[in-house]
Amino acid sequence: MTQIKVLGPGCPKCKSTYSNAQEAVKQSGVEAEVIKVDDIQEMLKYNVLTTPVLMIDEEIKIKGRVAQVREIIELLKK
């Protein structure tokens, strides 16, 4: 199963990215788990300074901006 992580402290951009990730999974039909990571210590493990961050299977795909539903669907197809 694909794993999607959204890293962010809970700002509006982070919440939007999380919602968009959930919607992308629903629309794409891909079997994926969407996880919200808002613990600062956990985020530091990934060495990212700008949020939100969208990760798919532990690989950073988008950071520092809201990931759009269409973008996430395209990333899930790869």
What CATH code is carried by the domain that includes residue 32? 3.40.30.10
Q: Please report the pLDDT score of residue 59 as a whole number.
A: 96
Task: Look at the pTM and tell me if it is higher than 0.85.
Answer: yes
2 SS3 class = strand
pLDDT at 78: 78
> Averaged over 61-77, what is the pLDDT?
96
> What's the pLDDT at 49?
85
Which residues does the annotation mark as catalytic?
A: 11, 14
Q: What is the pLDDT of residue 71?
A: 97
| Cα dihedral across residues 19, 22, 24, 26: positive or negative | negative
What's residue 53's pLDDT? 97
Q: How far is CA 51 from CA 11, 26, 74, 78, in A?
A: 9, 23, 21, 23
Each residue of 21-62: pLDDT tens digit? 999 999 999 999 999 999 999 999 999 889 999 999 999 999
Tally of structural domains, the chain:
1
Q: Which structural domain, as residue segments, surrounds residue 46?
A: 2-77
Do 16 and 66 meet the contact criterion of CB atoms below 8 Å apart?
yes
Q: Which residue has the tokens 């950071």?
A: 63
